[in-house]
Amino acid sequence: MIEIQDLIYQYEKNDLNYIFNKLSLTLEKGSFTTLIGPIGSGKSTLVKILLGLIKVDNYIKIDDLVLCTSNMKKIRNKIGVIFENPDEIFVSETVMDEIAFSLENQNKSKKEIWKKVEEIANYVGIKPLLECDPHTLSEGEKRLVSLASALVIDPQILILDEALSMLDEISKRKIFKILKECNEKGVTILNITHDLNESLYGNDIVLLQGGKVLLHGSKEDVLKQETKLKRAGLELPFLADLSIRLMYYGILDHMILDMDEMVNAIWK
C-alpha cells in the first residue's frame, strides 16, 4: 500500500545531518503498523512527504500511484490523517462543518454530504456533538472529530501522527477499537508514536532511527529486540518486558502480549 525506496532527505541543502538516509519501507495493504521513532527522528517529516507537502525526487508509491504532482489529488483522497494538535487543524465553527469540510472537494450534493457526515458521526459516537464548536471539546472528543473527518472520505490509508499521545487510557482504547474495526474492513493503518505501549494495539512495528528503518516486523518479533529498542530510548511495554525475562528463565517459550494469556501461561 505504501512503498518507499531509498528516500533521501535533508531540510537544508548543506546540512550534513540527513533526516532520511536511504530509507526504504513497504507497508502491505490491510496492515496495522505502529511506526516508532524517538522525537526528532523524522516521523512528521515522513507524513509531510507522503502527503506531498514536502517534495522529494525519490520513488514512492501509494497504492497503485507513484507520488508526483499530477497524482497528488488522487493520493490525498486515499489518505486520512489525524494530527497531534487538532486545534491547529480545525477550520470550522461546528463539528458538523468540520467533518463536512473534508468532503468539499469531492463532487457531492449537500444532501449526500450531510447524510455521510451524520453516518460517520454516529459511527464514532459523536452525533450529540455535531452542533458544538470543535475547539471547546475535550481532548478525547477532539480526536474523535479528527477521526470522523479522516474517515468521512472512506480512506484506504489512515495515518495518525502522535495523535493519541495526549489521551488517557480510556479515550485511547475507544479510538483503537474504531481503528481495529476499520482495519478489519481493509483500511491500512499507520500509527506514528514514540510510545511503544501503543504498538500493542497494532500488528507490526517499524522502528525509525538514524534516518533509516532499523527494525520492521510483527510486534512479537520486534519487541524481543530489547537492546535496540532501549538504545533508541524506548521503554518496553510491561508484558513484553515480563515475557523477555520469563523466556530467559525458560518459563515461557514465546512472547505473550495479552494479560489473560500471560496469567494462564504462568499458572500452568
The residues that touch Mg ion, with contacts defined as CB under 5 A, are 43-44
Query: Residue 16 or residue 39: which is nearer to Mg ion going by CB?
Result: 39
Verify binding: residue 44, ligand ADP, rule CB under 6 A: yes
> What is the spatial order of strands in the sheet that 2-9 belongs to?
20-27, 2-9, 60-62, 65-66
Stretch 2-31: interaction string toward ligand ADP, x if CB under 6 A = ---------x-------x------------
Sign of CA dihedral 167, 179, 46, 194: positive
- What are the angstrom distances between the C-alpha of 130 and each of 77, 96, 98, 181? 23, 5, 9, 23
Verify binding: residue 163, ligand ADP, rule CB under 6 A: no
Residue among 13, 14, 39, 268 that touches ligand ADP (CB under 6 A): 39
Residue among 41, 149, 183, 243 that touches ligand ADP (CB under 6 A): 41
Residue 5 corresponds to which cell in the numbers above? 525506496
Q: What is the SS3 assignment for 174-233?
A: HHHHHHHHHHHCCCEEEEEECCHHHHHHCCEEEEEECCEEEEEEEHHHHHCCHHHHHHCC
Secondary structure letter of residue 49 according to DSSP: H
Q: Which residues pair with 208 in a beta bridge?
A: 213
Least Å from the CB of residue 246 to Mg ion: 34
Contact between residue 126 and residue 118 where contact means Cβ atoms under 8 Å apart: no
Least Å from the CB of residue 154 to ligand ADP: 27
Verify binding: residue 202, ligand ADP, rule CB under 6 A: no
Assign 156 to helix, strand or coil. Answer: coil
Residue among 7, 42, 176, 188 that touches ligand ADP (CB under 6 A): 42
Least Å from the CB of residue 22 to ligand ADP: 17
Least Å from the CB of residue 194 to ligand ADP: 7
Verify binding: residue 233, ligand ADP, rule CB under 6 A: no
Least Å from the CB of residue 81 to Mg ion: 12
Q: Which residues here bind ligand ADP, judged by CB under 6 A? A: 11, 19, 37, 39-45
